Amino acid sequence: MTNVALDIALVLALVLGVASLGTSRLGAAIRYFSMQAACVAMVPLLIETRSGELSVHAWILFVATMVLKVSGVPYFLNRSLREASVRTEIEPLIGFGTTLAIGAGLVALSFGLARQLPLPQKPASDLLIPIAFSLLMIGLLLIVSRTKAVTQVVGYLIMENGIFLFGLILIDVFPYLIEIGVLLDLFVAVFVMGIVIFHINRAFDHIDSHQLDSLKD
Amino acid sequence: MTLLLAAMAALAAAAVLSAVLASRRALALAVSAGGCLAALALAAPPAVQVLLGGGTRTLTWTNPVLGQQALVLDPLAAWFVVPTLFISTGCAVYGVRYLLAGDRPVGMQAAGTNLIVLALLTVFLAGDAILFLAAWELMTIFAFLLLTHEHDRAEVRRAGLLYLVLTHAATSCLLAMFALLSIHNGSLRFGTGAALSPGAASALFTLAVIGFGCKAGAWPLHIWLPAAHPVAPSQISALLSGLVIKTGIYGLLRATLLIGRVPMTCGAVLLGIGVASAVLGVLAALAQHELKRLLAYHSIENIGIILIGAGLGSMALAAGRPAVAAIAFAGALLHVVNHALFKSLLFLSAGAVGRACRTLQIDRLGGVLRAMPRTGTSFVIGAAAICGLPPLNGFVSEFLVYMALLAACAVFPVAGQAEAVFAFAALACVGGLAAACFAKASGAVFLGAPRTPAASDAREAPGAMVGPMLALAATCVIAGLSGPWLLRVLDAPVQQLGGVSLAATPARQGLIATAALGAALIAIAGAIALIRRGLLHRQPAESSVTWACGYAAVTPSMQYTASSFARPLIAVFRGVLLPQRRQIAAVAPFAATVAVEEHSPDPVERFALDPALRGSGVGLALLRRAQPTRVQSYVLAIFVALIALLWWRLG
Amino acid sequence: MRTALHLAILLLFPPLLPGVINRVKAAFAGRRGPPVLQLYFDLWKLLRKGAVYSVTTTWIFRAGPVVTLAALLVAALLLPFGGGLPAPAAFPGDVVLFAYLLGAGRFATVLAALDTGSSFEGMGASREVTFAALAEPALFLSIAGLALARGTLSWTAMLSGQMPAWHLYGPAFAMLIGALILVALAENSRIPFDDPNTHLELTMVHEVMVLDHSGPDFALILYGASIKLFLLGAIIVRLAFPFEASIRAHVALFLAGMIVFAVVVGLVESTFARLRMNRIPQILIAASVFAALAMAVILIRVNA
């Protein structure tokens, strides 16, 4: 039964990632990320349930993720959206349909790559590595194909979700402290980005990251 | 074998006779058609026998210069010979009235038709590399001569030249392939299964794919095809699209037999080329505004479907799955014949429309079905067949390809599985797009109201032109319903390619059941039609104008055009098609000129061929400047070369 | 016996579904709505009426509804209805024939629409072929996913005894159901792809294609449309209710499932807005992507 639950959590994370590629509404993208973070946060718990005991570490990590990634980060992003008063990604660099198709190709690639990867030990689920890879790729694609800074932040966050899953291969040896440190870093990063977005908006009256190009040199 | 030789002799005699009689146009064309008919009567029985009974017929002789040569009629050759005979006869009969309506000399067409059929037969029957290449070259040249019938038009000359240059360049790959193969085998005779190393096999296969793929019109070597087919006389377009490009497929299949064990990657690449040809071919077809050009792009699509089958078959053989290979090859082989049938049917009916309306611009036609009911009905049947709709023949072969892909998903190694799934989805999309494209073509040309006077003045084509069309249309329907019989005739060539009988695969039940359900579809449709007639019998049906949502002053020009019809799909795929749009927008009310024009030139032509031609022009100009002017310097060059050669051999 | 029951359900049950959908929508809008059996009454009335034909039309126009309905009826012979009624005709590869029969029906309808020469019907036909071409990969990928997971190429075998498969491929099947629901809504011209109740020809897809049909022809079209909805629903329902039971319970479960399907469609129609035309391709691509994701998951599991 936990196997099925683990499958559902992982696949849901992937589906939400793909959904964030297809949406033009920034609010929806943030919502998808937050739900994805919740799915991802469940994964270590589900893995540990299968092997028996639930450690205190796992609970701490779960609670920290829920507080920071599932509620904290989206809160700040939504706030900066409100401040900047943008709601939709109007002119993406690559169209939504095309991004979706490319995303599907990247997911297929990830599933292929994951098979080639030599691993120190068998992962808890055969979907763990492919989906971790997929989230990495989807995050990168989102950063590459969109112009609004908020979407790019979401892309970065989705990548982080992928990295988090990736770390779970080594769940036995991986010190949770590091993961929690990463989480805090992430939170601070988003906090800073929120402020930056707000200031870009104040200065330029929009949040197109395009405009930052003129700052080079 | 005697009958085959007699057929070839009949073709040659008819060619000579029609060339002699060239000044009496009708007689020359009739002799030419008679020659094709005689060849059909003589050569079809032995070919069908070989298909039904298996086995091989061989005729060998010793040539004092080239050694042993042979004509071999094996099942694979027979599979290509039968449609060649049948369709060329139809085209030749059609050509009589078609060419007489024009005012150009017809001697070349009459003799050339016989000769190209002769060359085609020789290509299929050749048992050694020299004979094969000689016939191959002759076929190319005759095709060039036939398609440049209207050689006083510049675009015709350009298309002919493009065809000649590209196929010649590709033939050099074939020369290299056969030379390498004969070095390995120690003989120019075609054997089977040379024990090659994987590297050598891959190299040979690559040469074969380039050489034969260009003739077949596989992407990206297809660019000659959409240029050449529209400018040729229609029965020649039919012959080119139905038969000549199939020699490329025949060559590829023959090459896989000669090479023996084709590595998995090679099959995968062929499958990839097939998917690219199918998808890009049908997308380009969707964007065309001229009927014959649209049909030409559909040839690329269908060659793609055939290549998907052939590539998958090679992959399955390499993976040790002969049952999958048998289904895949059966699909490819059957689609060769099916495409030959419906594509020649479509070209013939398009030609009849072109003759009657003096244009093939889709958006200038309309409502032609009322004036030309038999031509129009033939076209609609051909259109439904090429979309692979049951119960027509196109469905049966596509069904086999789909089935092979699904079976491959289950048994291939991982990378192959992923590719098979991708090809499956792509083929599904191709099916939908083809249906869209032919709904556009048959809708805009044959249905609705005539858009121009040219279309409303159309008259039905004469019987000698309609006859071959109706025969081909009937064959499309019958072939779609004859699954169990196809199982028998397909068995020998499939065994030759895949090594397993088709009857031992799940395709057997599939073929029988699709035929039965196709018949059921026709029966149920008939029953519903009877019920409908019974219901309408009581009340007489009324006639009125088309409901235009209350608007009364409707004119035919207000109909949805073919361009608008295809527009949403072109918009979705604009990233691939790169349409170019020119628009004169209305700036004020009652603007005098408002126009919009959208063309999608072939990306390969735009981004590869044209720059390459420009580049080579610059390069050749440089070379010309470097050309020496004195005779002595030429002799010096020869002298230096001689010394170098001597040094190399003796030093 | 089972075949007779299969045919009886096929011929008599489908017109109930639009009635249920309309009742659900009416309930949501606070109206009473038309009777559940309204479509049966409509069909009966239309069958007894005469027909009017446009002067531009040919035999294509008259053949359109006939061929469409015949193709759908033959397609129905390939589909099992729930776990209790296997398909009267089942063979390896019938999944492909099924999809192509739907395509044949669509082609006939589109040609009939173009035969009228009306710009409105041309527009509807254009949209229909566009959306169908984009829905095709989603349908075929779903079929391929099911075929791979169940190791068979036939609907009957694919949709029977699938409980164990759900344990292994649960999330993948859930995604396939999602993709199939999108395909079913698009193929049947329902919200969010098309509004069957719209009153402006410019915004119609399917309805505008059949504007010129009248009398028995129109009855055939309405009947065919309900059968198409029924067929795609039957696949989804069996996939979503994979339980095993006695035959009688199976039939009851299936019919109840179909009603639930109609209610769900009604709920979707009541709560979702119709999409802008240029958003529709994107949703259909998304359906294909979900089917492809399901396929990736299935491939991983099959090879494990």
Q: Per-residue pLDDT tens for B15-71?
A: 989 888 888 888 888 989 999 999 999 999 989 989 888 788 888 888 777 778 888
Whether the CB of A109 is below 8 Å from some CB of chain C: the reply is no
Work out the pLDDT band at B103, boundaries 50, 70, 90: confident
Residue B404 has pLDDT above 90, yes or no: yes
| Chains A–B, number of C-beta pairs less than 8 Å apart | 10
Whether the CB of A96 is below 8 Å from some CB of chain C: the reply is yes
pLDDT, mean over chain B = 89
CA A38/CA A63 separation, integer angstroms: 10
Residue B278 has pLDDT above 60, yes or no: yes
pLDDT (0 to 100) of residue B194: 63
- Nearest by CB to residue A97, choosing from C285, C290, C293, is C285
**Is C289 in Cβ contact with A100 (below 8 Å)?**
yes
Domain boundaries, chain C: 2-303
* pLDDT, mean of residues B339-349: 94
Show residues of chain B in contact with A97, CB under 8 Å.
572
Work out the pLDDT band at B477, boundaries 50, 70, 90: very high
- Report pLDDT digits (tens) over B304-315: 999 999 999 999
**Is A14 in Cβ contact with C299 (below 8 Å)?**
no
Identify the chains in contact with B, defined as 3+ C-beta pairs within 8 A: A, C
Question: Model's pTM, two decimal places?
Answer: 0.91
Long-range own/partner contacts, residues B30-34 (CB < 8 A, 24 or more apart): B30/B96, B31/B110, B32/B92, B32/B95, B32/B109, B32/B110, B32/B111, B32/B113, B32/B114, B33/B89, B33/B92, B33/B93, B33/B95, B33/B96
* pLDDT, mean of residues A167-194: 67
**Is A130 in Cβ contact with C288 (below 8 Å)?**
no
The Cα of B423 is separated from the nearest Cα of chain A by a number of Å equal to 13
* pLDDT, mean of residues B499-509: 86
Find, among B471, B48, B396, B83, the residue nearest to B243 by Cα.
B83
- Nearest by CB to residue B418, choosing from A97, A98, A112, is A112
- Report pLDDT digits (tens) over B134-156: 999 999 999 999 988 888 888 88
Helix/strand/coil (H, E, C) string of B39-93? HHHHHHHHHHHHHHHCCCEEEEEEECCCEEEEEEECHHHHHHHHHHHHHHHHHHH
Q: b/e string for C110-126 if b means 16 or more Cβ within 10 A?
A: bbbbbbbbbbbbbbbbb
Work out the pLDDT band at A195, boundaries 50, 70, 90: low
Closest chain B residue by Cα to residue C199 = B549
pLDDT (0 to 100) of residue B121: 93
* pLDDT, mean of residues C58-83: 93
End-to-end CA distance of chain A: 57
Prediction ipTM score:
0.94
The dihedral region occupied by B540, where left means phi > 0, alpha psi between -120 and 50, and beta the remainder, is beta
The Cα of B515 is separated from the nearest Cα of chain C by a number of Å equal to 11
Identify the chains in contact with C, defined as 3+ C-beta pairs within 8 A: A, B
Helix (H, G, I), strand (E, B) or coil at A208: strand
Residue B343 has pLDDT above 80, yes or no: yes
For an interface test with B, give the residue of C118, C211, C302 to mutate (most B CBs within 10 A).
C118
For an interface test with B, give the residue of C57, C96, C176 to mutate (most B CBs within 10 A).
C96
Work out the pLDDT band at C133, boundaries 50, 70, 90: very high
Residues 6+ apart with CB under 8 A from A149: A193, A196, A197, A200, A207, A208, A209
Q: Are B556 and B448 spatial neighbours (Cβ–Cβ below 8 Å)?
A: yes
- Report pLDDT digits (tens) over B160-180: 888 998 888 889 999 999 988
Residue A214 has pLDDT above 70, yes or no: no
Find, among A87, A85, A73, A81, the residue nearest to A35 by Cα.
A73
Show residues of chain B in contact with C122, CB under 8 Å.
443, 448, 559-560, 564-565
* pLDDT, mean of residues B330-335: 94
**Is B432 in Cβ contact with C135 (below 8 Å)?**
yes
Whether the CB of B415 is below 8 Å from some CB of chain A: the reply is yes
Cβ-based neighbour number of residue B385 at 10 Å: 30
